[in-house]
Amino acid sequence: MSPRGEGVESDNGWAWECDPSRVWVLGDMPSAQQGLVAAVMDGLVDLASMGIDPKDGSLYEDPTPMRLRTYEDEHLMLWYQTIPHRSRVYLKRVNL
């Protein structure tokens, strides 16, 4: 899988974007960390395009589908929203 980057749609029309803007969400984060964030977001887009949430399973059975979600691993924690009718995953905040 090659990283697509912000705003670049996958084959099925899904993409991720920083909300409200890249500067607001990522600021002056070093490029190595921005690459890590982009890789995680590409993975979340792939899952969302299949209707899957990494924590909670199916996006189709979620009673609050537009809620703020979290993803974390040993390197970062991020907050995002999945908006199926726009085919977008919006990155809201990142903590390293």
For residue 64, pLDDT beyond 50? yes
In a domain, 80, yes or no: yes
Residue 1 pLDDT > 60: no
What is the C-alpha to C-alpha distance for residues 11 and 6, in angstroms, rounded to an integer?
14
How many Cβ atoms sit within 10 Å of the Cβ of residue 2? 5
Tokens linked to 55 = 């924590």
pLDDT tens string 9-45: 888 899 999 999 999 999 999 999 999 999 999 999 9
Decide if 43 is inside a domain. yes
Q: What is the CATH number of the domain that holds 87?
A: 3.30.2310
Q: Does residue 10 lie in a domain region?
A: no
Domain-embedded: residue 73:
yes
Calculate mean pLDDT across residues 44-68: 84
DSSP assignment of 5-25: -TT---TTS-EEEESS-HHHH
At 2, the pLDDT band (50, 70, 90 cuts) reads: low
